[in-house]
Amino acid sequence: MNVMRAFTLRNLKRNKKRTIVTIIGVTISVAMITATAVLMASFVSFFQRSVIADTGNWHAKLMDMPVQGAQAVAQDTAVDSATISRTIGFSAIPDSEEYSKQYLFLREYDAQGFDQMSIRLTEGRLPEKPGEVLISERILEGSSLGYGVGDTLTLTVGDIVLPGGIPVTENAYITDTYDEDGNLIASPEFVPKGTVTLTVVGIMSSPNFEGSWSAGYGVLGLLDTSSLSPDSRVNVYIAMKNLSRRVYADVDALVAKYGDSRTEAEFNDDLLRYSGVVEWDNVYRFIQGFMLVIIFIIVIASVSLIYNAFAMSVSERSRQLGLLASVGATRRQKRASVYFEGLFVGAIGIPLGIGAGIGGIAATLAAIQPLVESFTNLDVDVKMSLVVPLWAIGVAIFFSVLTICISVYRPARRASRISPMDAIRQTHETRLTRRAVETSRLTRKLFGFEAEIALKNLKRSRKKYRATVVSLVISLVLFLTVSCYANMTGEMTDAVMDGYNFDIAMRYSRLSDAQIEQLNKKISALEPVKSFSYNTALHGYAQLKQDALSSFARDYAAHYDDMPEDERILHIELVGIDDESFAAYAAAAGFNAADYADAQLPKAILINYGTDYAQVEGNNLKKVAGELLNLKAGDYLPFAAGSRGDMDDAVISIMIGAATQQRPMGVMSGSLSTATLVVPQSMWQAVLSRFTGEQLRELDHNSYIVRSAYMTADEDQKLVAQINELVQSLPSSSYDIYNLRDVARSQNNVPYSSACSYTASSRSSASSASRTLSTQSPRTSA
Amino acid sequence: MEILRVENVSKIYGSGEAAVKALDNVSLSVRKGEFVAIVGASGSGKSTLLHIIGGVDTPTSGKVFVDDTDIYSLDETRLAIFRRRQVGLIYQFYNLIPVLDVEENITLPLLLDGRKPGKAQLNELLELLGLTNRRRHLPNQLSGGQQQRVSIGRALIANPALMLADEPTGNLDSKNSAEIMALLRMSNQKYGQTLILITHDMDTALQADRIIGIEDGRIVRDEVIRK
């Protein structure tokens, strides 16, 4: 063995402790880098699988292909797998219960499609011959058709033609057309074209061609491509073999080769995005950038530690290196010795670190699995599992080697410069200069003689002193970076939680007061409920003069207001909270609840506080908060229900009993364009009894009257489950459950939530959550 | 034949008022196979002269020719190679590499040069040094005399043009000192090694062919006492 290597190894062995510590340091650093890369890979793979579960495993959809071309595409070498699909048409459901779904939508896939398009069978079997179909489980849940496995259906199939003669080719949202006054102008027309007889052989969960808004329930049959006439037109879903940024050109080439003038390509953008082939895509770039930033921080932190280890090792060996130099070791040989040390440490530390990193992430993923499940709103079973692609290992090795190289570079250079004389003289102590080192007398007075010696030492060996300062600064910077990041994620949660003083909200619609009362009783009695409040809200508007606004509101609200000075339109929310909660709220805020009980003279508590994001220098938004109105107790705040121009005659005049910044549960801190008035529920009812029945119906119908229950709970998920059980018998359109903590949790995970909004946006709970949110601040202007 | 020529070498440590002249315009010439003793008091500059001749310290001015090569015109790497091929250095405190064993320490100049020592040559040398049974020992397992013999072995192994010894017996008792001097004399006589030896002990110096006296960085005496 090369004598320099033997020399290095034996020194490493001689300083076992330091060597082991160095190896551990490298291991930890590599483990962190690996963990970051593997975690990103796992997330990306999870997103991909989520999209595949949601949309099917295809990159592009070739629409309106001649059937021969479609068959040829499936055989093309560039195509990994292809599903040929054909739409049969719609079949009307007489008296359908679900407003948006008045039809069955019939589609066929070839045998490949049931797997590739992520069709999930919940009952029965897959179709084996034409004429056999799967039906969507929504048909069982949402309609009264009463179909089941084994049934034979005879259906009149046809096209839906929109006003203007445009046929509907996809299972889209179809609506009637109204004029400005709300009069029906036109409806889509159903044009029958024939009768089919189908046998139901299985139930599938909602397929990708059936959205919650789309016009038809999904019915999926088996397509026998050989029986199609040559002039039939089909759609082909293809997954490419080699996915790269060239996918768009590749698919266009396929269209040109196999399609005709009517053929068009559509891409599965979500899947392409998470496959990283969409150029300049923000989501993927964010994830990637995020990973690199984290790795960069890890590298810096690791270098400052590992560098020290090597520097120490070199300075311990400096005498030996000097001796080697005196018997003829060249600079290169001395430098190589240190690099060899790095190689040795890396050869042990990198594999260990990669193993530890992968193991660590495996354990972490196993541990956070329930959490991941809780904030996925997917109704499909996609697990976030460990994925270790080669590139992640490559990234880990690259950055680990880089870390070690950076750490070794300077010590190696120093080692190469050690001269024989350094060893012979052995002068590594502080070299004293003749210059007197001055220290202030204050030091001596304050800290004593010891401090003076210390200070003189520092001053004499500024280099060492600088190293200490630099490493202090680095650790400080790292600490700040990490805490800033933690803070940022914390703030994201805050941004969700900010202004909300409840955990779970439940909005009722189309339920009678008696039904609501009964439900409230049951829900408030549930064990996880800590506090409960039932709020009714009437939304309206007030037209105010500029001077009715506080100077603060005038300053900031002005940014958004183009209206003339004497026409400040303020959104008004009149909230009735149940009498019990009101009493507690008034007491907590320091008011007498009895003052607000006189139906002849309605009085309300004004929540005179609003927050907003105001534009400050340039384009930066700054959060501001302050008083909203220039009104005080005794002033009147007249307002009209509904939105402007809608029901200007439904005017209510309410006296302000008191103004406060405290909010009862369920009342969110408003923006500067909203004023909230709080009254007991009995008073709220009394105020509303002034409206005519027709007015009330109109307000209710347009969501100007909102009825919601708010509660706090420790075990939010348990509570949601229990509530879901309670409301099982009610139609799903009559309530929305909104778990704020869920949202906060998912917000905490930035890359995750962005993906979640893709995969789940069309689906159940996430959209209902956003609906609930939006109704809390409905139309401010007409 | 001249093997070493020192031309007007000066060495100044520090600068300005604090400057110290360790060597002041020293010139000398040594023939091949000569045994030269340099004597002088502590701080006279004799060690500095030796280091400059050995290529481990650099002169402030002047030139050093070894075998007609101006060694300070060489770049760093060539100088290092010069050291391992042409110079054998022996120090008062042996300066062995503590993690390498006797054999490795002795063969170090060859190993650094990427050469393999001849087995017979090595065995003969170990025999000569009385270290045959110690070849696998580490320096800290040896006595001072043995360690110094290892460093003599290291200086001899590459068959260098110059062997330089800086107070080689300064740290040894009289018995060991006699043995070391015998070895050095033998290497000079038997192998014809050119030997330059620093000492402040006149008895040791008198074993040489020629004595050079240094005082305050200047040669004050240079006489051949034996031919």
Q: Give one DSSP letter per residue of A338-379, joined into a string.
A: HHHHHHHHHHHHHHHHHHHHHHHHHHHHHHHHHHHHHH---S
Residue A301 lies in a domain: yes
Residue A594 confidence (pLDDT) above 80 = yes
Q: Are A502 and A636 in contact (CB under 8 A)?
A: no
**pLDDT at residue A739 in the model:** 82
Residues A525-547 pLDDT 10s: 888 888 888 999 998 888 877 77
DSSP state for residue A732 in the 8-state scheme: G
Residue A430 confidence (pLDDT) above 70 = no
- Based on the domain organization, do A14 and A84 belong to the same domain? no
- Based on the domain organization, do A612 and A720 belong to the same domain? yes
Q: Nearest residue on chain A to B89, judged by CA atoms?
A: A327
Dist. CA A350–CA B62, nearest whole Å: 52
- Based on the domain organization, do A155 and A176 belong to the same domain? yes
Residue A345 confidence (pLDDT) above 90 = yes
- Based on the domain organization, do A129 and A214 belong to the same domain? yes
Largest CA distance in chain A: 109
Residue A553 confidence (pLDDT) above 80 = no
Poorest-pLDDT segment among A226-230, A441-445, B9-13, B173-177: A441-445
Measure Cα distances from B225 to A480, B36, B207, B212, B222 in Å: 76, 10, 9, 11, 10
- Based on the domain organization, do A116 and A213 belong to the same domain? yes
User: How confident is residue A432, by pLDDT bands cut at 50, 70 and 90?
Assistant: low
Chain B residues with beta carbon closer than 8 angstroms to that of A434: 18
- Based on the domain organization, do A31 and A137 belong to the same domain? no
CA distance A336 to chain B (A): 12
Q: Are A311 and A342 in contact (CB under 8 A)?
A: no
Q: Are A231 and A69 in contact (CB under 8 A)?
A: no
**pLDDT at residue A768 in the model:** 35
Nearby residues of B203 by Cβ (< 8 Å), 6 or more positions away: none
What is the pLDDT averaged over residues A60-84? 90
**pLDDT at residue A386 in the model:** 87
Asked if A327's CB is within 8 angstroms of B76's CB, the reply is: no
**pLDDT at residue A24 in the model:** 92
CA distance B98 to chain A (A): 8
Residue A197 confidence (pLDDT) above 80 = yes
User: What's the complex ipTM?
Assistant: 0.90
What is the pLDDT averaged over residues A716-733? 80
- Look up residue A607 and give its amino acid: I
Long-range Cβ contacts of B128-132 (<8 Å, 24+ apart): B128/B183, B128/B186, B129/B153, B129/B183, B131/B102, B131/B106
Poorest-pLDDT segment among A130-144, A736-750, A766-780: A766-780
- Based on the domain organization, do A241 and A380 belong to the same domain? no
E-strand stretches of chain B: 2-13, 20-31, 35-40, 61-66, 69-70, 87-90, 162-166, 194-199, 210-215, 218-224
Residues A151-182 pLDDT 10s: 998 999 998 888 777 788 888 877 777 766 66
Chain B residues with beta carbon closer than 8 angstroms to that of A323: 95-97
* Percent of chain A residues past pLDDT 70, beyond the cut: 84
Q: How many domains does chain A have?
A: 3
User: How confident is residue A489, by pLDDT bands cut at 50, 70 and 90?
Assistant: low
Of B18, B77, B109, nearest to A327 by CB-CB distance is: B109
Helix axes A750-760, A740-748, angle to 10 degrees: 120
Dist. CA A517–CA A534, nearest whole Å: 9
- Please tell me which residue, A379 or A51, carries the higher pLDDT value: A51
**pLDDT at residue A528 in the model:** 85
Assign A604 to helix, strand or coil: strand
- Based on the domain organization, do A83 and A22 belong to the same domain? no
Asked if A7's CB is within 8 angstroms of B97's CB, the reply is: yes
Residue A737 confidence (pLDDT) above 70 = yes
Token pair of B179, please?
């043995």
- Please tell me which residue, A89 or A703, carries the higher pLDDT value: A89
What is the pLDDT averaged over residues A644-655? 73
Dist. CA A327–CA B56, nearest whole Å: 9
Of A3, A326, A330, nearest to B104 by CB-CB distance is: A3
Which among A649, A695, A684, A697 has a CA at the least distance from the CA of A574?
A684
Dist. CA B67–CA A268, nearest whole Å: 80
Q: Are A240 and A79 in contact (CB under 8 A)?
A: yes
Say which CATH architecture domain B2-224 belongs to.
3-Layer(aba) Sandwich (3.40)
| Chain-centroid distance, C-alpha A302 | 31
Which among B138, B69, B76 has a CA at the least distance from the CA of B105?
B138
Residue A483 confidence (pLDDT) above 80 = no
Residue A446 lies in a domain: no
Interface contact A10, partner B, CB < 8 A: yes
User: How confident is residue A767, by pLDDT bands cut at 50, 70 and 90?
Assistant: very low
Assign A287 to helix, strand or coil: helix
**pLDDT at residue A621 in the model:** 64
E-strand stretches of A578-683: 603-607, 610-616, 620-626, 636-641, 651-660, 674-680
Q: Low-confidence residues of chain B, pLDDT below 70?
A: 227
What is the pLDDT averaged over residues A712-730? 82
Average per-residue pLDDT in chain A? 80
Asked if A328's CB is within 8 angstroms of B89's CB, the reply is: no
- Which domain covers residue A695, as residue numbers? 498-776
- Please tell me which residue, B181 or A441, carries the higher pLDDT value: B181
Establish how many alpha carbons lie within 13 A of residue A469's alpha carbon, considering only the half-sphere containing its beta carbon.
Answer: 8
Measure Cα distances from A27 to A291, A307, A428, A746 in Å: 19, 14, 32, 32
Q: Where are the domains positioned within chain B? A: 2-224
Which among A482, A484, A577 has a CA at the least distance from the CA of A535?
A577
Residue A359 lies in a domain: yes
Q: How many other CB atoms are found less than 10 A from the CB of residue A645?
A: 10
- Based on the domain organization, do A607 and A647 belong to the same domain? yes
User: How confident is residue A751, by pLDDT bands cut at 50, 70 and 90?
Assistant: very low
**Strand B20-31 versus strand B35-40 pairing type:** unpaired
Burial degree of A435 (CB within 10 A; 0-12, 13-18, 19+): exposed
Dist. CA B164–CA B57, nearest whole Å: 13
- Please tell me which residue, A713 or A374, carries the higher pLDDT value: A713
Residue A490 lies in a domain: no
Which among A741, A744, A746, A737 has a CA at the least distance from the CA of A769?
A737
- Based on the domain organization, do A33 and A74 belong to the same domain? no
- Please tell me which residue, A312 or A429, carries the higher pLDDT value: A312
Mutation pick from B111, B113, B152, B198 vs chain A, by most beta carbons of A within 10 Å, is B111
Q: How many other CB atoms are found less than 10 A from the CB of residue A307?
A: 20
- Based on the domain organization, do A64 and A44 belong to the same domain? no
What is the pLDDT averaged over residues A708-722? 85
Residue A487 lies in a domain: no
pTM of the model: 0.64
**pLDDT at residue A615 in the model:** 64
- Look up residue A439 and give its amino acid: T
Tell me which range, A264-268, A425-429, A454-458, is most confidently predicted by mean pLDDT: A264-268
Residues A356-414 pLDDT 10s: 999 999 998 888 877 776 655 555 567 778 889 998 999 999 999 999 999 999 999 98
**Strand A79-92 versus strand A233-240 pairing type:** antiparallel
